[in-house]
Amino acid sequence: MKLLTKELLLRFEKVGRQEDDKDPIVIAKFFNPTGAGTWLATEYDPNSKEFFGFVSIFGDYNDEWGYFSLDELESYVGRFGLGIERDLHFAEQRMSKVMPSAILE
């Protein structure tokens, strides 16, 4: 499965940068189906192929906002040969609905 579709690329482009928004829109959610890790993407730069968003590996104090690479997500191979997946059932919504603890104060 492709992690990034043309529709998602257009949506990221339309929403644009959200650095001044304390409750940004989460456009895509990626996860590790056989282990820890959730990546909530709020922005995407097609030139660098990097997302910006909230990364939660273990759901603890190490969770943080930052950049993560499409290439790294696509190249990861976990248990049973499975890679990172995009949540096909995820509906775009504000971060306060997805992960309230991630809201920037």
User: pTM of the entire structure?
Assistant: 0.92
Give which of 42, 50, 48 is closest to 73, Cα–Cα.
50
SS3 5: coil
* pLDDT band at 1; cut points 50, 70, 90: low
Tokens of 19: 């650095």
Tell me the pLDDT tens digit for each residue of 36-87: 999 999 999 999 999 999 999 887 888 999 999 999 999 999 999 999 999 9
**What gap in Å lies between CA 68 and CA 97, rounded to an integer?**
22
Instruction: Decide if pLDDT at 91 tops 80.
Output: yes
Burial of 14 (0-12, 13-18, 19+ CB in 10 A): exposed
Count of C-beta atoms within a 10 Å radius of residue 61: 6
Cβ contact 39:29 at 8 Å = yes
